[in-house]
Amino acid sequence: MKRVLPGIWQWSWFSEEKQLDFNGHFLEVGEHRIIVDPPPLASHEIAQIRQGGQVDYILLTNRDHEREAGAYKKEFGCQIFVPEKDAGEMTVQHDKTYADGELLPGGIWAVHLRDQKSPGECALFLQQGEGTFIVGDALIGKPPGAVSLLPAQKYADILKAREGLQRLLKYKFEALLVGDGTSILHGAKGVVEQAVQ
């Protein structure tokens, strides 16, 4: 687990099937300690998270990023928040659903992205610093230094999906932390603009 931005750590688990790193993020924002889209954690990483105190929440960005959320809800005794439009298609036991425009714990804004792989796909926006987005399946960090959409067959309409992602460009952000692939810590808005236009 490595610190990638002030108050934000990332860890990765390599997926042989996808030939990509699946990333989880651990945030300390205000008084809250939050995990986003958790892939498997090593025992020393669990210990590292525990050192700072109670984990309050696990936030999931879409129905396909349940990953190890159920196990870590038990492990850390925390609550799980999931996108309202994906909740009915998820197996993990969640405590609360969230909707577009909702201010989540830690001052994180939920930004719903239309016409993506799953109906509830949301990006998580942190205004602190120069602005950071955390995305699940909305964009993949591949190749490193760039971002791409999922393969066209994953969408009902890839042109509409690309259009839906343009909503990200209404925000001021410097970093893009991805659930799959390589995150972009500087100049991310320009990279996203190239990918979605």
**pLDDT at res. 54:** 95
Reported confidence tier of residue 128, pLDDT bands at 50, 70, 90: confident
Give the C-alpha separation, 149 to 158, whole Å. Answer: 9
Region 58-86 average pLDDT: 97
Reported confidence tier of residue 191, pLDDT bands at 50, 70, 90: very high
Domains and CATH numbers, the chain: 2-196 (3.60.15.10)
Query: pTM of the predicted model, to two decimals?
Result: 0.96
Residue 121 has pLDDT above 90, yes or no: yes
Residue 179 has pLDDT above 90, yes or no: yes
Residue 52 has pLDDT above 90, yes or no: no
Torsion of CA 146, 152, 155, 157, to 10 degrees: 110
